[in-house]
Amino acid sequence: MTLIKSISGIRGTIGGKPEENLTPIDAVKFAAAYGTYIKKQRNKDMHKVVVGRDARLSGEMLQQLVMQTLVGLGIDVVDLDLSTTPTVELAVQLEHADGGIILTASHNPKQWNALKLLDKNGEFLNAEAGAEILKLAEESSVTFAEVDALGAIHKNDAYIDIHIDEVLDLDLVDEDAIKAANFKIVVDGVNSTGGIAIPMLLERLGVYVEKLYCEPTGNFPHNPEPLKEHLTDICKLVPEENADLGIVVDPDVDRLAFIDETGEMFGEEYTLVACADYVLSENPGDTVSNLSSSRALRDITQKHGGTYHAAAVGEVNVVTKMKEVNAVIGGEGNGGIIYPESHYGRDALVGVALFLTHLAKKKIKVSELRASYPAYFMSKKKIELTPTLDVDAILKEIAQRYQNEDVNTIDGVKIDFENHWVHLRKSNTEPIIRIYTEAQTQTEADQVADTMISEIKSIAGI
């Protein structure tokens, strides 16, 4: 199962057979369905869609297919070429466009790619819109434009600069404080577009930048998901260079992780915690993260007098809840910062600027900042799916077994115990069941996860 259609977009491996993998035929089919959907949303003569991509090897091929398909529908295209997911989101707003497409498979390895689809606000489509596009694609309900009504492609390579301007204009980003701190920072851009955008931002902030894997070749030097086991090179380089910290992003720059001055992980979960701590200290209010995120955000929010809210996993679900409760900051525990003063999308550039402002004003080391937060430890494990595995039945059985605990079923099954929690859900982006746990020690978190995996396998008879 290597072609996955979900609210996270159309994602698959490159090559192989149509409808089984993400082939050129599938790219054209879904781009045509998306363009048809966009044209139905606004009745006007010309429509405009922003298109950008990360640096992965298949990106240029897919981008050309997608853009020319939109042109064939009579839609004008703003071509950002190499860009980031949050940059495309901002560009949709600033261009007053009708939508946007980002060619990126986010943290997946190089054989994967995807079409991430945005609405006119530069936000991810909701489930209803996604379902309509899938229906259009399956029914081939597409009519292309006649020759005099074809769209045109307008290239614009200024948007990373414009994005950085927007970040620096945010009220809570203090350029002077950051410049005065004289930070030295190592950046791992995993040879994608973060290697362009993050150093550019840091240099504007007066930071001395040491680049690691910042050439946008698409040849990822390690697994692109920014987890500890994949980041041995930067964890070694930060103390060797006497740097103040390390910054790691995923290929499309919507996830953000920090390395402290000793070469230890700050913890992806704590990226949002630290940024929220700073924002709430200046602008108290409510916060939102998904069900798989750390309790530490709840603790920090309550410390500042606000209320924490949980949403189903998926950026669109977090954004919907943030709007509902008027949250001042939110995001996901995978290092995704959503700051409404900028835009409703996970944005590593915004996260970097807020974090560095916080650090500069505190005048402490990254390790000391991390030590100031509640200590929770997470385990993130998974079970590969097989065609015979009935995930829904398994999750229903688990919920039944633990009905006397605090059980939440808005997204898979989350069980809150007094001193730990477990969250089980089917992934939107990979053929797996995710098993996330959090406890007060790493050993306990791992043990809880392993026990739950054994229980799932027992239920499934595997």
CA dist 208 and 199 (Å) reads 9
Residue 237 near residue 210 (C-beta atoms within 8 A): yes
Structure token pair of residue 422? 């477990």
Instruction: Give first-to-last CA distance, the chain, whole Å.
Output: 20
Residue 259 near residue 235 (C-beta atoms within 8 A): yes
Three-state SS for 48? Answer: strand
Cβ neighbourhood burial of 393 (10 Å; 0-12, 13-18, 19+): exposed
Three-state SS for 298? Answer: helix
> Which residues are marked as active site?
106
CA dist 323 and 308 (Å) reads 13
**What would you measure as the largest C-alpha separation in the chain, in angstroms?**
66
Closest CA relative to residue 224, chosen from 140, 125, 106:
106
CA pseudo-torsion sign 434, 439, 442, 446: negative
- CB neighbourhood size of 249 (10 A): 28
Find tokens 């209803």 and name the residue.
128
